Amino acid sequence: MKVKNLDFSDDPILLAPMAGVTDVGFRALASSFGADATVTEMLSARAMAHNPKKTEFLTLTTGEEKIKIAQVFGHEEDYMAKAVASPLLEKFDMFDINMGCPAPKIVKNGEGSALMDNLPLASKLITAVKNSTTKPVSVKFRKGKSTENYVEFGRMCQDCGADFVTFHARTVEQGYSGKADYEAIASLKAKLSIPVLGNGDVVDFASLQKMKETGVDGVMVGRGSMGRPWLFAQLKQNDIQIDKYKTVEKHIEILRQHFDENWLKLYIRKHFLWYACDIPLSTELRLKLATCNDIDECLALLKNALN
């Protein structure tokens, strides 16, 4: 897949944006295992204008990432236009607009998935972003909010100049429950002329094949990679040695370069639990990870368990 000057691979697999998950370390790990592109956690266009410091830590990158995508959200054209022109996002290769987030605090502001019920505003926002940057712009959305209007919505994105779309084939109401609708993905792919990336429930090679049968131009992988950034190597059937412990160690090493140890101790707990998800651990040891007070102690615990 080629998008303007950006050469994604022939069968690109991207790391999906996940707030609270796809931090700078995790994006670097996913890239090292073969993710063709990574997307930041969603960035508020408004926050970027008023409190750029707060956004800065979400926009950290490493040399490891191949194609770097910053995802922005908002409901105001001027803020969205300013966000993609902001020096904070200069190092990113392209931008994605979040039009699928179902979180009530986002929806109540008319942002994220609320825009699927407001095509006139959604089109103004895409146009404002397109007019503010020469870099490619994509849009990520769902099946629909009050109606399943994903084809109409996809066409609107295309007409506004979106360079590709990513389709998470669940309704807003579904949240993350039920199964992603691969027939809907095939149907959207057949109707648009811009590339369509499929998203939802790709967790292993078999589910990747099912997704590919929809004819999509690429695939975005989210939850399946939590605690398993090496999934990208497995999906691509890259013949590389996977050292799970070294991977966790590298995650911590990158985060320690940027974050204070006290903040990190709290933040890393969920990642530790995801990393430990597939390994037999006593309740006592799992609790230690969940309440991490000493990162090195938890690392030692994982070293014994992962090897």
Binding site for ligand FMN (CB under 6 A): 16-21, 41-42, 71, 98, 100-101, 140, 168, 199-202, 221-224
Which residue's Cβ lies closest to ligand FMN?
A: 222
Least spacing, CB of residue 296 vs ligand FMN, in Å: 26
Least spacing, CB of residue 207 vs ligand FMN, in Å: 9
Least spacing, CB of residue 304 vs ligand FMN, in Å: 28
Whose structure tokens read 């300013």? 82
Q: Which is nearer to ligand FMN, 34 or 100 (CB)?
A: 100
SS (H, E, C) the chain: CEECCEECCCCCEEECCCCCCCCHHHHHHHHHCCCCEEECCCEEHHHHHHCHHHHHHHHCCCCCCCEEEEEEECCCHHHHHHHHHCHHHCCCCEEEEEECCCCHHHHCCCCHHHHHHCHHHHHHHHHHHHHHCCCCEEEEECCECCCCCHHHHHHHHHHCCCCEEEEECCECCCCCCCCCCHHHHHHHHHHCCCCEEEECCCCCHHHHHHHHCCCCCEEEECHHHCCCCCHHHHHCCCCCCCCHHHHHHHHHHHHHHHCCHHHHHHHHHHHHHHHCCCCCCCHHHHHHHHCCCCHHHHHHHHHHHHC
Q: Identify the active-site residue in 101, 160, 292, 298.
A: 101
Q: Which is nearer to ligand FMN, 31 or 71 (CB)?
A: 71
Say whether 277 is catalytic: no
Least spacing, CB of residue 219 vs ligand FMN, in Å: 9
Q: Which is nearer to ligand FMN, 15 or 194 (CB)?
A: 15
Q: Which is nearer to ligand FMN, 41 or 76 (CB)?
A: 41
Least spacing, CB of residue 129 vs ligand FMN, in Å: 15
Q: Which is nearer to ligand FMN, 42 or 298 (CB)?
A: 42
Residues acting as catalytic residues: 101
